[in-house]
């Protein structure tokens, strides 16, 4: 497992409701991008800046309840990606018992930041999903990190640009995500 730290949070220039979180390996250069909704971005931003509220937000309330019952967050583990969405586990300790709870990655990070708990990812997953810095400040992501709709738009753009090799790679990735039964059904028609 590789420990990650929050490197940056950005909003999409054309849509301020869409946010991304940049996580970087603690002692290295590899990074991943996690998509966030507005509320999750706000919860993470508050935790990063140490901003309190008059009344507890959901993630604060969750932390208060677990603390009250003697449950301690040990770490968050980002364990897989599916259709461009990361999946995470919250690993808790209560006395001698260890419990693992499935969570949205954005929520898991918001909770981990409040609890000062580390965030981990499998080394192989990090290698497969890490972003690459490009010239002019842009970054590129692996096609396996994008959702199907993003892949379809990229494929259309590749065809328009007559980059058929890229279009074929994108189509193969899209097809690999469809259930086998749906593919068989499409070929019957």
Considering the domain architecture, whether residues 168 and 114 belong to the same structural domain is answered as no
- Among residues 136, 158, 175, the one where a domain terminates is 136
Task: Determine the Cα angle at 121 with ends 116 and 125, to 5°.
Answer: 160
User: What's the whole-number mean pLDDT along residues 180-186?
Assistant: 51
Considering the domain architecture, whether residues 18 and 64 belong to the same structural domain is answered as yes
Considering the domain architecture, whether residues 23 and 99 belong to the same structural domain is answered as yes
Considering the domain architecture, whether residues 92 and 170 belong to the same structural domain is answered as no
User: What's the whole-number mean pLDDT along residues 90-102?
Assistant: 96
Percent of the chain with pLDDT over 90: 43
In-domain check, residue 36: yes
Asked if residue 115 lies in contact with residue 91, where contact means CB atoms within 8 angstroms, the answer is no
Considering the domain architecture, whether residues 158 and 98 belong to the same structural domain is answered as no
In-domain check, residue 141: no
Separation of CA 143 from chain center: 14
Residue given tokens 């993003």 in the structure block = 150
Considering the domain architecture, whether residues 117 and 79 belong to the same structural domain is answered as yes
Q: How far is CA 182 from CA 134, 136, 169, 174, 177, in A?
A: 37, 41, 20, 13, 10
Task: Determine the Cα angle at 122 with ends 119 and 123, to 5°.
Answer: 115
- Beta strands 2-12; 15-25: pairing state: antiparallel
- Among residues 92, 118, 136, the one where a domain terminates is 136
Considering the domain architecture, whether residues 171 and 122 belong to the same structural domain is answered as no
Identify the DSSP state of 136: G
3-state secondary structure of 138: coil
Considering the domain architecture, whether residues 127 and 157 belong to the same structural domain is answered as no
Provide the token pair at 85. 């969405």
The C-alpha atoms of residue 107 and residue 185 are separated, in whole angstroms, by 37
> What number of CA atoms fall less than 13 Å from residue 21's CA on the CB side?
25
Q: What is the pLDDT of residue 181?
A: 47
Considering the domain architecture, whether residues 23 and 115 belong to the same structural domain is answered as yes
Separation of CA 88 from chain center: 9
User: What's the whole-number mean pLDDT along residues 148-176?
Assistant: 77
User: What's the whole-number mean pLDDT along residues 164-182?
Assistant: 71
CATH code: domain of residue 79? 3.10.690.10
Q: Give the residue with greater pLDDT, 70 vs 155.
A: 70
Count of the separate structural domains present in the chain:
2
The C-alpha atoms of residue 111 and residue 47 are separated, in whole angstroms, by 9
Lowest pLDDT segment from 43-57, 117-131, 149-163, 170-184:
170-184
In-domain check, residue 171: yes
Domain limits for position 118: 2-136
The C-alpha atoms of residue 140 and residue 166 are separated, in whole angstroms, by 14
Considering the domain architecture, whether residues 40 and 63 belong to the same structural domain is answered as yes
Considering the domain architecture, whether residues 26 and 94 belong to the same structural domain is answered as yes
Considering the domain architecture, whether residues 43 and 132 belong to the same structural domain is answered as yes
């Amino acid at each position: 497992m590789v420990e990650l730290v929050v490197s940056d949070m950005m909003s999409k220039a054309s849509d301020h409701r869409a946010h991304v979180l940049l996580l970087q390996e603690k002692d290295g250069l590899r990074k991943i991008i996690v998509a966030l909704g507005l509320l999750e971005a706000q919860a993470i931003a508050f935790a990063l800046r140490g901003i309190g509220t008059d009344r507890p937000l959901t993630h604060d309330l969750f932390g208060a309840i677990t603390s009250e019952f003697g449950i301690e967050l040990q770490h968050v583990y980002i364990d897989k990606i599916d259709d461009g969405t990361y999946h995470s586990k919250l690993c808790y300790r209560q006395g001698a018992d260890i419990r693992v709870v499935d969570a949205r990655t954005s929520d898991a990070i918001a909770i981990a930041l409040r609890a000062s708990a580390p965030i981990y990812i499998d080394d192989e997953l990090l290698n497969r999903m890490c972003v690459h810095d490009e010239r002019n400040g842009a970054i590129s992501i692996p096609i396996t990190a994008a959702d199907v709709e993003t892949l379809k738009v990229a494929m259309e753009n590749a065809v328009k640009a007559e980059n058929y090799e890229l279009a074929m790679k994108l189509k193969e990735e899209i097809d690999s995500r469809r259930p086998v039964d749906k593919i068989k059904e499409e070929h019957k028609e």
